[in-house]
């Protein structure tokens, strides 16, 4: 038996708020101008939101108003001081990513992962935390004692085949009024227990707000930054992470599109070879269309990539195959980019 932990942050965690603001601005650009090129960064803290990065677009909108709408939707006040410092994308980058060249928008490596543990083709503990995060967001909008900020973590007991046997520690840290803790703790415990019972997974111990109190949260208690939760956005530590953020970037950036097609490849190989798990690494050079390399690992060892994977892995082909200009990236940024077998949430 071995112990392994994974984590999620809730939609109202400061880092996730910044992810959603960056993604919402990207959505606005792509809605008006599908050819937009975007790399948007947001930082927030102590009553201020600072939006920066690069955009080349024909879209016309107020980035500050987009940010205020996101804050309201999450459950925060919208009176933060907001600074719009967005600039234009470098012409040097545009040389390799324009429609004629259609090269990768960055260099780097991306990972895709799939396993047969759940219908979502994701690990059980990961799916449990994603469902808990969705439920917590519902509670924030229906129960006055729940505030948006928070996170949860599972420390699971796994057998030698890496099957989740039980949860030794289910840790939930959540921002709340601290006025009805007995009631609010019980709500979260009951929901988490029901989730785990559905998978036949017992919980040995809950750790709820281990410091004892979580009244001050959000941007008053912490700072937030786009891209600081790349492990939550991908596979919660069940797979390797390339290091590139997926939020606020248009799909010509392979941090986004490369990670998405790698997930598709992993799911396809899982089914084709009846694997227990599969991990795909794909790498690119900025300005070049075809991936530099594709590496595949699985419970049956290394697999040879098929030639068509290189062809399908060109950014323009990924965008077309997965319809990446028609995805609502704000929704992608809420609870992780991979929440089921479908790639992406359709535009609202």
- Active site (annotated) includes residue 24: no
Evaluate whether 254 touches 109 at the Cβ level (below 8 Å): no
| Active-site residue (options: 131, 249, 289, 337) | 249
- Active site (annotated) includes residue 106: no
Sheet holding 37-45, edge to edge: 81-84, 48-56, 37-45, 224-225
- Active site (annotated) includes residue 326: no
| Active-site residue (options: 7, 10, 11, 13) | 13
- Active site (annotated) includes residue 229: yes
Evaluate whether 314 touches 294 at the Cβ level (below 8 Å): no
| Active-site residue (options: 214, 219, 335, 338) | 214
- Active site (annotated) includes residue 54: yes
Task: Quote the CA–CA distance of 310 and 313 in Å, as a whole number.
Answer: 5
| Active-site residue (options: 11, 229, 289, 331) | 229
- Active site (annotated) includes residue 228: yes
- Active site (annotated) includes residue 117: no
Task: Quote the CA–CA distance of 167 and 278 in Å, as a whole number.
Answer: 24
Tokens for 30, please give them. Answer: 């792509």
- Active site (annotated) includes residue 249: yes
Evaluate whether 165 touches 196 at the Cβ level (below 8 Å): no
| Active-site residue (options: 15, 19, 27, 149) | 15
| Active-site residue (options: 33, 222, 306, 321) | 222
| Active-site residue (options: 54, 268, 299, 306) | 54
- Active site (annotated) includes residue 331: no
| Active-site residue (options: 4, 94, 162, 223) | 223
| Active-site residue (options: 137, 255, 297, 314) | 255
| Active-site residue (options: 253, 289, 331, 337) | 253
Task: Quote the CA–CA distance of 258 and 249 in Å, as a whole number.
Answer: 12
| Active-site residue (options: 11, 68, 151, 289) | 151
- Active site (annotated) includes residue 13: yes
- Active site (annotated) includes residue 19: no
- Active site (annotated) includes residue 99: no
- Active site (annotated) includes residue 223: yes
| Active-site residue (options: 7, 19, 27, 41) | 41
Task: Quote the CA–CA distance of 141 and 73 in Å, as a whole number.
Answer: 9
- Active site (annotated) includes residue 131: no
Closest alpha carbon to 83 in 21, 148, 15: 21
| Active-site residue (options: 16, 263, 331, 337) | 16
Residue with tokens 């949430």: 345
| Active-site residue (options: 121, 228, 289, 337) | 228
Task: Quote the CA–CA distance of 27 and 332 in Å, as a whole number.
Answer: 11
Residues identified as active-site:
13, 15-16, 41, 54, 151, 214, 222-223, 228-229, 249, 253, 255
């Amino acid at each position: 038996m071995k112990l392994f932990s994974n984590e999620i942050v809730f939609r109202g965690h400061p880092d996730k708020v910044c992810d959603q603001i960056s993604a919402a601005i990207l959505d606005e650009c792509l809605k008006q101008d599908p050819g937009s090129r975007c790399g948007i960064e947001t930082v927030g803290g102590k009553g201020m939101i600072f939006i920066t990065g690069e955009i080349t677009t024909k879209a016309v909108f107020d980035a500050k108003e987009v940010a205020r709408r996101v804050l309201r939707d999450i459950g925060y006040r919208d009176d933060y001081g907001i600074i719009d410092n967005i600039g234009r994308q470098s012409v040097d980058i545009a040389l390799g990513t324009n429609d004629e060249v259609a090269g990768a928008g960055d260099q780097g490596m991306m990972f895709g992962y799939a396993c047969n543990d759940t219908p979502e083709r994701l690990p059980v503990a990961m799916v449990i935390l994603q469902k808990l995060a969705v439920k917590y967001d519902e509670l924030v909008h229906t129960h006055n004692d729940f505030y948006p900020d928070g996170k949860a973590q599972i420390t699971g007991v796994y057998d030698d085949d890496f099957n989740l046997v039980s949860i030794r520690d289910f840790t939930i840290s959540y921002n709340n009024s601290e006025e009805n803790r007995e009631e609010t703790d019980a709500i979260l415990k009951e929901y988490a227990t029901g989730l785990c019972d559905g998978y036949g997974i017992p919980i040995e111990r809950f750790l709820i707000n281990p410091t004892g109190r979580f009244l001050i949260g959000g941007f008053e208690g912490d700072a937030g930054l786009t891209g600081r939760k790349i492990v939550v956005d991908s596979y919660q530590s069940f797979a390797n992470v390339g290091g590139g953020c997926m939020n606020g970037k248009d799909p010509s950036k392979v941090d986004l599109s490369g990670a998405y097609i790698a997930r598709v490849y992993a799911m396809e190989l899982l089914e084709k070879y009846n694997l227990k798990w599969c991990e795909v690494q794909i790498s690119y050079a900025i300005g070049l269309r075809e991936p530099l390399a594709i590496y595949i690992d699985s419970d049956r060892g290394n697999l040879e990539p098929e030639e068509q994977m290189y062809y399908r892995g060109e950014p323009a082909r990924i965008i077309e195959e997965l319809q990446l200009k028609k995805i609502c990236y704000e929704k992608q940024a809420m609870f992780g980019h991979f929440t089921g077998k479908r790639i992406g949430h359709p535009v609202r």
